[in-house]
Structure 1
């Protein structure tokens, strides 16, 4: 955003982040812990992407989506973790206005694409297990590419709408954000105008959307588990091993999202801890 436009809107040029904790000893411990987790995450995702894209045996749609999901997850982690880790080593934690808006856009864009991919993968699992005869016909490389492109385009529009509302809000100066990242509700609390309507919009745009998609995902995996009654023990074991990891990711991802975005303008003491997940 051009600097002159920002100056016309308000005089806030940066936000002060309070981080996860004010305890120096806990900050050092968390810094070491998050460095290990971040590099393991990046290394694991990179290994998945390289393995799938260099192996001819892993050419099914499931692995195509898994490869792209790993790439998106790596990008999503990189929009927040490096800044959070560096801030744990600093006494004063700040982020510029443009940097805050960029981080907000990136985290919601990649997080939203991840949500859509998890939904597509759930449908992929449903077809592979419940409709195996139609699986090869319904899913091909071209269709997979179209689904990924639609996920990108749809989430770009969804995220851009949310960011446009934030950019034009006037903020208090100094703006102290009691969080370790720039997120929707913490930024709304810093605004000097009435943001009740914006809070309801965020809850509808993010909270209800997450709830709807989470309900669809749970329903799809329940149908998959129900259909396994007619499979052999070997088939049941193979199907369960395929679905266990996605179900775990869905629960961790969506429960934390629902906790943060479903209740407009309501904050809880453990909000920042939930946001880590």
Structure 2
């Protein structure tokens, strides 16, 4: 069972989030609730939390401060911000925190579950390796090495070029353990700004887009009858074939094997 913590000072929002996660992931996770950052840190230590979903604006110790302390205490923990601050004025203070994703309230349920799925995969990876996740050594792309280069010309043209650069980079690197921070870094943006920019470009969060890239690549590979499903999962970034099948079915509604059969039945 994965150990998940949700922290939000708004009782109704916290209860709704708890109910959503329990409904979708209750058979896989134990979930604790905190109403402020101080209580969140106590539960974090007491239960050795693997995944933390934090609001940013909380009384006393806020979400940024709690996340910084969580990262110091347990570097492999997956931290997700779920906030109503669309300008990320608070999140900009957390550039040094390796946050898995920023989600804006109200958040689509499928996006939230997609991010939690990725957090669980990373928890599995951390347990299997028995050590902290290594930093990726990713080469910088040729386009947009500084954000200043985007401050000229028509805004929509610039946004289109940024979207194409991000899309190309992720299509070339989706098989790696990419995080939002990795791509933000190579694009030379702060994490908070890149998160907002990404949502503007693709109308979805980073983790959902990454998952869709992997699933689309898997669909193409499933057209090859001589390649087994486990090999296809590994080829698109999933070393656990069961996890790959779970993600594929959540995105497409059918299993990889069923998808393959549907292809051949149409021929």
Q: TM-score, normalised by structure 1?
A: 0.26
Which entry has the higher C-alpha Rg, 1 or 2? Answer: 1
Structure with the bigger percentage of strand: 2
Structure with the bigger percentage of helix: 1
Q: TM-score, normalised by structure 2?
A: 0.27
